[in-house]
Every structure is written in structure tokens, then in C-alpha cells.
Amino acid sequence: MKKSNVAMLIVFLALIPLTLFLGDKLPGKGYYITGVLIIIELAVPFFMMFEKRKPQARELVVLAVMIALAVIGRVAIPIPHFKAAFAIIMLTGIAFGPEAGFIVGAITAFASNFFYGQGAYMPWQMMAYGAGGMLAGFVFIKNKIPKKPWIMAIFGFLAVVIWIGPLLDTSHIFIMMPEISFATITASLASGFPVNVSQGLCTALMMIVFGKPLLEKLDRVKQKYGMLEDENGI
Amino acid sequence: MGFELCHPAVNLIYFVSVLYGMLCFRHPVFLAISFLSAVAYSIKRNGMKAVIFDAVLLPLTSAFALYYSTYNHFGVTVIEQNLIGNSITLESLIYGAVIGLTVSGAMIWFSCIYSVFTSDKVVYLFGKASPKLSLFLSVLLRMVPRIKYEAKKINTAQRGIGRGINQGNIFSRIRNCIRIFSIMITWIIDSLSLQSESMQSRGSLLRGRKAFSIYRFDNRDRAYVIAMFANITLTVMGVMLKQTEIVYDPKIIITPITSVSYLFYIGYAVLCLMPLGLELYTEYRFRKARKIITR
């Protein structure tokens, strides 16, 4: 494991939950502060990815394009709970590694919420979306698992149903529920299950349709410019 | 010859205050003033195109009012009962019209903003924060027209081999659209990284670099700003004296209109009509000066 991967895990497991926990106590529109804090915390492992050099403008530009695509994938599809954003975030994680996946996911949640309305759930969404990209990056690291469309589709479905969906539902537990008990937790997880399945189906479909071409494009720029790698970046 | 020749900061202050007024004042008089001056100014700027745009927005507004009143049933004045027994009230109908007018008025103001604010002004105003931000701004603002142009080019090329977006049956059309979209993404990623690379090679990110601009803050801008702030102050006084307040639910309640209220109305109207007046006045001066030459 690289140093930046370890830093990523530390940020995800320790710093972000702490921020969310403290951010819940902020009054009014404090969730903006929490959201910005999460982005700042994420920047640490992201910059560690480049080790001795600074990230180039072109690398940030490629990530910006991926964020724009993911936002469009969420906003432009008019079917509720059937959005392409997760698939694009995961593909970014697969192509560029967990740190890039996390930062793309978090900023996608932040930016696309301007279309849907911000709320206290926004930092949680940033965390959950980013966690999806991060998981994809860790699972497909070092090409141990072949990046075939149907494998990515199965992974996408399982990741949404088991990982991203429940993470999103925890926000419901902490924000809405008057008390936290086993019954309330199972109730909110169960009520989120159909939504997660429909999102997972959409993610799987998108992986099959767009997985291969999008991954090819990203791998191409990666090879052409040596992008988002620790060495031989100019 | 007109408002776009003022200093960009003046344009920014004006449009921010006018948009704020448009979106926040629910009082019918203020709403009417803002909406009508938006229509007048957009017609002055964009001509026939603006007339069509504004004319399309009006039926949409009334349609929205009808839609709103069929889903919201607050208010005490019942007009009639609809099919499923819900009462349609005068208050919700009027409030729907107010929301519709607010949104369409903001859209008309935005059409004016697009014609006044060119991308070099945006870079000039917001790029001062850092050279990196100004690089991103200039690349991104140029991106939208470039994407349109490139999409047209790709579609023309694809049409040549029978894969255009309007060739074949519905399924092959969808497939063609997806294919062109995929080509576009490849092009966008590649050209963006090339562009930022080339701008960096020319020293775009160096410290102390400034964006070239021809703007300077002269006495005409000063006079304009002073007049603008006088009117903004009048309007703010009106807001403080609760002249803009109105309640729609459950009954329409307006702060009583006194003779002083007209002062605030005039202040707001002058504020909204200032650029239109400036442009008409400059044209008048220009024509008069030209007459002297040709005589």
C-alpha cells in the first residue's frame, strides 16, 4: 500500500466521522462549514498522491470533467433513484485510484445538491458518494481484478446496495431519528433498501453501457500524459 | 455605446442589486416595476429576439399560476371547487402568478446579463484572486462555445457516414447520440488538458501575472455609481419601512400605501431603468453630435 492510500484510510475512518459528528452540532446552515471541512481534509491524501511534485493544471482539469459528467449523470436523468452519478464516480476511482475517486465523489455530491437543494444531509452524502469512489479504487487497485464490464457491473451493484446505500441511510438515523436503537436502525435501513436496489441496478446498467468506453478514455489520457501518478509526471 | 462600456464593477453591482430585488420582493408594485423594466431593457438590448423570448414566457407564467393553484389550497377566497373537490382560491392563484413572474423576470434579467457581461469581464473581476483561478475561468468560459462548435463538426462528419443524430430509426438515433457524446468526452478531456498545458507553457501560472484589461474607472463611472447608490439607498429605506412586505397566506395583507411609498417606487423604478436611460441618452447625444458634423 502506498503512503497516500494509508492516509486516505485514516482520513475516511477517523477524521471524516469526527467532522460529521461535530458538524451535526452546528446550528443553522452549519452544514456548509462541515462540507468545506470534508473537502479540505480530503485534499491531504489527494496531494500526497503526487509525492514530490505538485498536481498539474491538466490533472485537475480531467477531474473537473469527471465531476461535471457525474453531476450531469445525476441531474439530467429524470427518473428518481435511477442516477448515473455512482457509476461515473466509481469509474474515476477505478482509473485514477481511491484518492481521486473520493474527491470526485465528494465534490459531485456538493455540486449536484445545488440543483436538488442543500440540507443537513449534504456532508453525509459527500462522505457516502466519495466512499463509493474510494472502494472502487481499492478493489481494482494494481489490476488484480480484471476490469471487464460485467465484473464492474456486479461490483457496482453490490457496492451501492451494501456500501453506499447504507452509508447514506445512516444520515437518516443520525439526523431524523429521535432515538438511536436497534429497531430504528433496522427500520431506516430496510426502508432504504428498495431505493438502493434501484440505484444499484442503474449503476450496473451504466457500467455495462459506459464502463468500457469511459475507462478506455481515462486510461488513454493516463498513458498519454502520465497523469495522476506519483512519478514521471512533468 | 451603452451600459456595457461602463466599468465591469459597475455592471456587477447593478445586476446583483437588481436580481436581488427581482427575486426577493414579492410586493406587486415592486414586482411589476422590475419585470417591466427587465422587458424594456431586454428589448433594447436584443431587439426582436427578446420580444419573442418575453412573449413566450408570459403564457408559461400564467400556466404556472394555474398549475400552482391546483396543487396549493391555502387562502380564504374560494373561487370554485375543482373535479376532486379541492377548492381553488384567489390567494393561491395570485401567489402562483407572483412566483411565475419572479422566475420569468429573473430569466429576462439573465438574458440582459449575458449580453452585457462578456467573458473578459468575468475574468477581469474574478481572476484577480489568483492566476490559477483566472486560468481556469478563461478556459472554462471559452469551453461552452468551443463544445458547441465541436459538436456540430462531429455531427457533420458522422452524418457523412450515415450516423448523424437525425438519421435512421429511433434506436439507431439514440445509439448515434451516445456515440457522438462519447466522442465529445474524449475530445473535451484531451483538448482541456492540451489547452491548460499550453497556457502553462506561456507562463499563465507565473506569480505576479496580471490579466490584460482596458478598463479604467473614470468620472462617468463615478457619477453613475453615485446615482445608483442613491437609488439603492432609497429602495433599502423602503425595505426597512416594510414597504415591500406582503402576506399571501391566508389573506392578502399589504402595508398601507401612503404618499411616501411613491417615493420608494420611483427610486426603485429609476434604479431598474438606469442602464436603459443611459443607452437612450448616449444615442440621443450621438445623433445630435453627428448632426453638427454633417451640417
- How many other β-carbons are positioned within 10 Å of the β-carbon of residue A3? 12
Using a CB-CB cut-off of 8 Å, the residues of chain A touching B139 are 61
Report pLDDT for B211: 67
User: In angstroms, rounded to a whole number, what is the distance separating the alpha carbons of residues B190 and B185?
Assistant: 8
Q: Is A107 on the interface with B (CB under 8 A)?
A: no
Q: Is B182 on the interface with A (CB under 8 A)?
A: yes
Report pLDDT for B31: 92
**What DSSP state is assigned to residue B117?**
-
Q: What is the mean pLDDT of residues B71-85?
A: 78
In a shared domain, residues B110 and B227: yes
In a shared domain, residues B98 and B230: yes
Contact B193 A221 (CB under 8 A): yes
Using a CB-CB cut-off of 8 Å, the residues of chain B touching A111 are none
User: In angstroms, rounded to a whole number, what is the distance separating the alpha carbons of residues A51 and A34?
Assistant: 27
Using a CB-CB cut-off of 8 Å, the residues of chain B touching A57 are 132, 135-136, 196-197, 199-200, 205
Q: Which of B178, B193, B205 is closest, CB to CB, to A225?
A: B193
B280-291 residue pLDDT tens: 999 999 999 998
Contact B196 A213 (CB under 8 A): no
User: In angstroms, rounded to a whole number, what is the distance separating the alpha carbons of residues B175 and A197?
Assistant: 26
Contact B185 A57 (CB under 8 A): no
Of A136, A106, A139, give the one whose Cα is nearest residue A37.
Answer: A106
Residue B209 lies in a domain: no
Q: How many CA atoms lie less than 13 Å away from B276 in the CB half-sphere? A: 18
Contact B189 A221 (CB under 8 A): yes
Residue B41 lies in a domain: yes
In a shared domain, residues B7 and B80: yes
Domains of chain A as residue ranges with CATH: 56-225 (1.10.1760.20)
Q: Is B19 on the interface with A (CB under 8 A)?
A: no
In a shared domain, residues B137 and B96: no
Three-state secondary-structure class, residue B8: helix
Minimum distance, in Å, between the CA of residue A216 and any CA atom of chain B: 10
Please give the C-alpha separations between residue A115 and each of A26, A76, A118, in angstroms, as whole numbers.
23, 10, 8
Using a CB-CB cut-off of 8 Å, the residues of chain B touching A58 are 192-194, 196-197
- Domain holding B184, by residue range, is 129-201
In DSSP notation, A170-211 reads: HHHHHHH-SS--HHHHHHHHHHHHHHHHHHHHHHHHHHHHHH
User: In angstroms, rounded to a whole number, what is the distance separating the alpha carbons of residues B202 and B199?
Assistant: 5
**What DSSP state is assigned to residue B87?**
E
Query: What is the gyration radius of the CA atoms in chain B, in angstroms?
Result: 25
In a shared domain, residues B105 and B228: yes
Task: Using the 3D structure, point to which of B201, B234, B257 is the last residue of a domain.
Answer: B201
Percentages of chain A per state (helix, strand, coil), in multiples of 5 = 80, 0, 20
Structural domain count of chain B? 2
User: In angstroms, rounded to a whole number, what is the distance separating the alpha carbons of residues A130 and A168?
Assistant: 11
Q: Is A214 on the interface with B (CB under 8 A)?
A: yes
Q: Is B233 on the interface with A (CB under 8 A)?
A: no
List the grid coordinates of A55: 498536481
In a shared domain, residues B69 and B160: no
Contact A213 B182 (CB under 8 A): yes
Angle, CA of A60, A64 and A67, to the nearest 5°: 140
Pick from B179, B185, B199, B205 the residue to mutate for testing the A interface (most A CBs within 10 Å): B185
Q: Is B225 on the interface with A (CB under 8 A)?
A: no
Pick from A56, A59, A61 the residue to mutate for testing the B interface (most B CBs within 10 Å): A61
List the grid coordinates of B43: 428589448
In a shared domain, residues B85 and B140: no
Residue B206 lies in a domain: no
Residue B56 lies in a domain: yes
Report pLDDT for A51: 65
Residue B240 lies in a domain: yes
Chain B residue whose CA is closest to A215: B186
Encode chain A (234 residues) as per-residue pLDDT tens digits.
Answer: 677 778 888 888 888 888 777 777 777 677 777 778 887 887 777 777 776 677 777 788 888 889 988 988 888 777 778 888 899 999 999 888 888 888 899 889 888 887 777 777 788 888 889 888 988 888 887 777 788 888 889 988 999 888 888 888 877 777 766 667 777 788 878 888 888 888 889 889 888 888 888 888 888 888 888 776 655 443
Q: What is the mean pLDDT of residues B6-12?
A: 90
Residue A108 corresponds to which amino acid? T
CB B51 within 8 A of CB B106: no
Residue B223 lies in a domain: yes
Q: Is A225 on the interface with B (CB under 8 A)?
A: yes
Three-state secondary-structure class, residue B208: coil
Report pLDDT for A231: 53
In a shared domain, residues B152 and B256: no
Residue B208 lies in a domain: no
Pick from B193, B201, B202, B206 the residue to mutate for testing the A interface (most A CBs within 10 Å): B193
Residue B151 lies in a domain: yes
Task: Using the 3D structure, point to which of B154, B177, B201 is the last residue of a domain.
Answer: B201
Task: Using the 3D structure, point to which of B169, B201, B233 is the last residue of a domain.
Answer: B201
In a shared domain, residues B59 and B98: yes
List the grid coordinates of A208: 455495462
Minimum distance, in Å, between the CA of residue A91 and any CA atom of chain B: 14
Q: To the nearest whole percent, how much of chain B has pLDDT over 70? A: 96
Chain A residue whose CA is closest to B189: A62
Q: Which of A56, A57, A217 is closest, CB to CB, to B189?
A: A217
Q: Is B177 on the interface with A (CB under 8 A)?
A: no
Q: Which of A58, A209, A213 is closest, CB to CB, to B193?
A: A58
In a shared domain, residues B134 and B268: no
In a shared domain, residues B135 and B18: no
Q: Are strands B253-254 and B246-247 parallel, antiparallel or unpaired?
A: antiparallel
In a shared domain, residues B150 and B114: no
Q: Identify the weakest region by mean pLDDT among A125-134, A192-201, B120-129, B237-246.
A: B120-129
Contact B193 A217 (CB under 8 A): no
| Highest mean pLDDT: which range of A74-78, B77-81, B106-110, B198-202 | B106-110
Chain A residue whose CA is closest to B204: A57
Q: Is B193 on the interface with A (CB under 8 A)?
A: yes
User: In angstroms, rounded to a whole number, what is the distance separating the alpha carbons of residues B174 and B180?
Assistant: 10
